[in-house]
A and B are shown apart, each in its own frame.
Chain A
Amino acid sequence: MVRGGVGGLSKCGKKMSLKVVMLTWEFPPRIIGGIATHVYNLSINLVKLGVGVHVVTCDFPNTPSYEVVEGVEVHRFDSYSIPTPDFAAWVQLMNLNMQRAAAQIIKSERGGSLIIHAHDWLSAKAGIGLKHLNRLPLVSTIHATEYGRRGGVFSDYNRMIHEIEVWLGSESKRVICCSRFMAEQVNKVLGVPYDKISVIPNGVDPSIFTNLKGVEEVRSRFAERGERLVLFVGRLVVEKGVLVLLEAIPKVLQKVDAKFVIAGDGYLRGEVVKRIAESGLGGKVHVTGYLDADTLRRLFLAADVCVIPSLYEPFGIVALEAMAAGCPVVASDTGGLSEIIEHEKTGVKVYPNNPDSLAWGILRVLGSKDLVELLKKNMREKVEREYKWSTIAQATKAVYEAVLQLSLH
Chain B
Amino acid sequence: MRVIILSWEYPPHVIGEMAWYVRELARRLRKGGVEVYVLTYAPWEERVDLDEGVVVKRVKPPISVTTNIVVWSLLFTTRLQIAAADLIYTLGSVDVVDAHEWITVDAALALKDRFEVPFVYTIHSLEKHRSANSAAPLNIAIESIETLGCREADCIVVNSEWMRGEVSSKVSGVAGKIRVVEPYTERWLEGVLEAYRSVVKR
Interface of A toward B, CB cutoff 8 Å: 1-2, 4, 80, 82-86, 88-89, 92-93, 95-96, 99-100, 103-104, 107, 125, 128-129, 132-135, 156-157, 159-160, 163-164, 166-167
Contacts and interface: CB of A to CB of B under 8 A. Distances in A.
A198 B115 CA distance: 33
Contacts of A84: 70, 137-138, 140-141
A134 B74 contact: no
Contact of B92 (A1, A100, A166, A167): A1
B104 interface: no
Contacts of A85: 67-68, 70-71, 136-138, 141
B114 A92 contact: no
Contacts of A164: 62-63, 75
A160 B63 contact: yes
B82 interface: yes
Contacts of A88: 67, 71
Contact of A129 (B67, B78, B92, B115): B78
8 contacts: A2-B88, A84-B137, A84-B140, A89-B68, A128-B78, A135-B89, A160-B71, A167-B62
A99 B92 contact: no
Interface in B108-127: 109-111, 113-115
A82 B144 contact: yes
A1 B137 CA distance: 42
Contacts of B62: 163-164, 166-167
Mostly, the A contact residues are helix
A93 B141 contact: yes
Contacts of A104: 113
Interface of B: 62-68, 70-71, 74-75, 78, 81-82, 85-86, 88-89, 92-93, 106, 109-111, 113-115, 136-138, 140-141, 144-145
Given A2-B92, A164-B75, 20 more contacts: A2-B88, A86-B67, A89-B71, A92-B71, A93-B74, A93-B141, A96-B106, A96-B109, A99-B110, A99-B113, A100-B110, A103-B113, A104-B113, A129-B110, A132-B86, A133-B81, A133-B111, A156-B67, A160-B66, A166-B62
A100 B109 CA distance: 8
Contacts of A159: 64-65
A132 B82 contact: yes
B93 to A, nearest CB: 7
Given A128-B78, A160-B71, A133 B109 contact: no
A167 B75 CA distance: 10
Given A2-B92, A89-B71, A129-B110, A83 B141 contact: yes
Nearest to A101: B113
A164 to B, nearest CB: 7
Contact of B67 (A4, A134, A157): A157
B1 to A, nearest CB: 18
Contacts of A80: 144
B135 to A, nearest CB: 9
Nearest to A163: B63
Contacts of A129: 78, 81-82, 110
A1 B93 contact: yes
Contacts of B71: 85-86, 88-89, 92, 160
B113 A100 contact: yes
Contacts of A82: 140-141, 144
A133 B106 contact: no
A160 B85 contact: no
Residue among A80, A86, A160 with max Cβ neighbours from chain B (10 Å):
A160
A83 B86 CA distance: 34
Contacts of B66: 156, 160
Nearest to A102: B113
Contacts of B137: 83-85
A80 B140 CA distance: 12
Nearest to B93: A2
